[in-house]
Amino acid sequence: MIRVTRIETTYPAPIDGEDYCPEPESVWANDDDVTFRELVRLMREHLHPSCSPARGDTREWLTTEAEQDWRTGEYTEHSLHYSRENPPRAAKYWRAAMRAAGFAR
């Protein structure tokens, strides 16, 4: 099992006529233990690596496209991170999953 941290960040609705660079309204984090197969599936759902080209380093993370709630105008972004609670030997699985998901070479 590999421990991952999933973070959900919500940003306020943009105000007309202003540059949109807000501070998050709320941040929710959750640590989960996942299998290698589940990790690859989660990575494929988070299409944007934190750097390009991705190398599969444990300091890299993946995010989704921000989704807008059309009722409130808020934007929500989901990100997937390697948990620092993993033992050192788990880093190789993060790199292998990044390769299997198509992000790293």
> What's the pLDDT score for residue 26?
80
Evaluate whether residue 105 is within a structural domain. Answer: no
Sign of CA dihedral 29, 32, 77, 102: positive
For 58-96, how does the pLDDT look when each residue is reduced to its tens digit (9 = 90+)? 999 999 998 999 898 889 999 999 999 999 999 999 999
Q: Do residues 22 and 12 lie in contact, with contact meaning Cβ atoms separated by under 8 Å?
A: yes
Rounded-to-integer distance, Cα 67 and Cα 80, Å: 16
Across residues 5-22, what is the average pLDDT? 80
For 14-62, how does the pLDDT look when each residue is reduced to its tens digit (9 = 90+)? 777 666 667 777 888 899 999 999 999 999 999 999 998 899 999 999 9
Averaged pLDDT of the chain: 91
**Structural domain boundaries enclosing 39:** 2-100
Backbone angles phi and psi of 50, in degrees to 5: -70, -20
Evaluate whether residue 63 is within a structural domain. Answer: yes
Q: Is it the case that residue 105 has pLDDT exceeding 80?
A: no
Number of domains in the chain: 1
